[in-house]
Amino acid sequence: MSFFKGILFGAGLGTLGGLLLAPRKGEETREKLITNTRELVELTDELNDNLTDFRESLVTLKGTFDTLVPAFKSGVEKDIEEFRFQAEPRIQQIQAQIEKINQALPQVEETTVIKKGRFSLERPIE
């Protein structure tokens, strides 16, 4: 907030300096100074109003966020738990089927085939 105050203060001083150094009659300079000061006050009030509205919007957004996020999080956690509950028996069934298939397959010794022309030689892998 001090940054905006500094900007407004600097703008006010610049305006005041420009008006005082401008070649005008005293009455015109005073009227211009009063007009510019009123405009500066209006701009400052408008800036404060906008900042207040922004702050209120942020508070509302935070309230909405604080309300929705826990509900969303618990819903996702519930869905994950339900998926695990449904998937776990299926995974166990698949693993059992794989084990049965592995047991039913004949045990084959791995060999290396070396080919030379029309001849081939099979050797066990050590």
Task: Return contacts of 41-46, CB within 8 angstroms, 24+ apart.
Answer: 43/8, 44/8
The residue that leads in pLDDT, 76 or 3, is 76
The residue that leads in pLDDT, 15 or 126, is 15
Model pLDDT, residue 13: 77
- Give the separation between CA 98 and CA 123, rounded to whole angstroms: 29
3-state secondary structure of 113: strand
Q: Do 109 and 118 form a contact (C-beta atoms < 8 A)? A: no
pTM recorded for the entire structure: 0.43
Out of 5-9, 55-59, 84-88, 94-98, least confident range: 5-9
The residue that leads in pLDDT, 115 or 22, is 115
pLDDT 10s digits, 40-87: 889 889 999 999 999 999 999 999 999 999 999 999 999 999 988 888
pLDDT 10s digits, 24-41: 677 777 788 788 889 888
Q: Sign (positive/negative) of CA torsion 54, 55, 61, 65?
A: positive
